[in-house]
Amino acid sequence: MNSTDLPRLTVRSPADLIAAVPYLLGFHPADSVVVVALSGSRITFAARGDLPGEGDPHEPAGHIAAVTAQQGADSATVIGYGTAARVTPAVDAIRVALADAGLTVLDALRVTDGRWWSYVCAQPECCPPEGTPYDPLASAVPAAAVFAGQVALPDRAALAAQVAPAGGATMRQAAERADRRLTDLLAAAPSTDLLGGRALRTSGVAALRASRGRHRDGERLTDDELAWLCLLLTHLPVRDHAWEHTDGRDEDTAFWAEVLRRAEPELIAAPGSLLAFAAWRAGQGALAAVALERVLTEHPDYSLALLLEDLLRRGVPPSRLDGWPATGLPRARRRAKRRARRRSR
């Protein structure tokens, strides 16, 4: 499931809402169920999940309803994308779960092949049994969303492609050179520097500052610069320094996306988690989700990725960390450590 802090979009009809959903999520959903929650007349939250398989649809329905109820919403609309055989059980389960959670279900829709059907309206003059055709381009919503800086990619695969590996043999060679450089750094550290901790942090802070500066100037990092930064980020004080200096700015998201794409698989845990954090803070929950999927596939026990995955799963709004890092890092560190201890038992 993914969620996001949302732009202000004016929605006056089911067709407008259907046109808005790809911009609320960041991509056009397929084989999905989406809940759009409102507080009064304002959309406050959107969440998407895959349509359930052959199992019980009530378990994911209960989770998505509980998360939606935590957003301060008082009503919601459910939209299923796919065939009636798959969509109807999922939508019915979520409608019941939302009602049980105290939310008013304004409408429940199914969208397939350029038509929508309502599970709530039974009036053939406005909701014909053959479905209502809609044209997203006829709605003012996409233009307003684009003006607000929102993007709707063709599908979730296109989103995942933004974090797909793009390293290659030259990055592998750069990672090997970084290993040798690290060995030399630790060998040169004074005996008073326990395990070379100060040398590592000093080098990490310098590498991050230089890399961020070059990226802001529009310069592409060399393979050696990127490999060295990624290796130093495996040292937690360096990772936490980078975390403290990462927020939801466009430059943060672009920087960590480049580092994640080019990094060697064994070094993606920190940059991928930092990209997920930047994307979540920017309201790009879907991008955060695909970044975390990539990290946790390679590093299933990485505590920061698990912490961020939990934030997304519970639908915690990015506004909860307004004032970052002063308001969030100590508590986040404690939560990450507790989760790591639980998984090690």
Start-to-end Cα distance in the chain = 27
Q: How many domains does the chain have?
A: 2
Q: Are residues 109 and 77 in the same domain?
A: yes
Three-class SS state of 343: helix
Any alpha helices (H) in the chain, and if so which ranges? 14-25, 58-69, 84-100, 141-147, 156-161, 169-188, 197-216, 223-232, 236-244, 250-262, 269-281, 285-298, 303-313, 329-344
Three-class SS state of 160: helix
Q: Are residues 212 and 126 in the same domain?
A: no
Lookup: tokens for 66 = 């509980």
DSSP letter string over 41-79? Answer: TEEEEEEEEEPP-SS-THHHHHHHHHHHHTTT-SEEEEE
Q: Are residues 226 and 284 in the same domain?
A: yes
Q: Are residues 119 and 219 in the same domain?
A: no
Give the separation between CA 142 and CA 137, rounded to whole angstroms.
Answer: 7
Model pLDDT, residue 307 = 93
Lookup: tokens for 147 = 């003006």
Q: Are residues 123 and 180 in the same domain?
A: no
Give the separation between CA 118 and CA 129, rounded to whole angstroms.
Answer: 9
Q: Are residues 129 and 58 in the same domain?
A: yes
Pick left, alpha or beta for residue 142 (phi over 0 → left; psi -120 to 50 → alpha; otherwise beta): alpha
Residue 163 lies in a domain: no
Q: Are residues 332 and 185 in the same domain?
A: yes
Domain CATH for 110: 3.40.140
Three-class SS state of 268: coil
Three-class SS state of 248: coil
Lookup: tokens for 179 = 């290993």
Alpha-carbon distances of 48 from 257, 318, 340, rounded to whole Å: 23, 17, 28
Residue 164 lies in a domain: no
**Residue at a domain's end among 103, 128, 155:** 155
Alpha-carbon torsion (134, 123, 129, 68), positive or negative: positive
Q: Are residues 142 and 242 in the same domain?
A: no
**Residue at a domain's end among 155, 179, 208:** 155
**Residue at a domain's end among 155, 184, 211:** 155
List the domain range (segments joined by +) for residue 42: 14-155
Residue 160 lies in a domain: no
Three-class SS state of 302: coil
Q: Are residues 179 and 37 in the same domain?
A: no
CB 145 within 8 Å of CB 20: yes
Give the separation between CA 251 and CA 142, rounded to whole angstroms.
Answer: 25
- In tens, the pLDDT along 122-148 reads 888 888 999 999 888 888 888 877 777
Q: Are residues 223 and 132 in the same domain?
A: no
Beta partners for 81?
32, 111
Residue 143 lies in a domain: yes
Residue 258 lies in a domain: yes
In which residue ranges of the chain is pLDDT below 70? 1-9, 54-59, 322-345
Q: Are residues 106 and 20 in the same domain?
A: yes
- The 10 Å Cβ neighbour count of residue 84 is 12
Model pLDDT, residue 139 = 83
Q: Are residues 198 and 145 in the same domain?
A: no
Give the separation between CA 259 and CA 275, rounded to whole angstroms.
Answer: 9
Give the separation between CA 282 and CA 151, rounded to whole angstroms.
Answer: 13
Residue 11's φ and ψ, nearest 5 degrees, are -120, 120
Residue 180 lies in a domain: yes
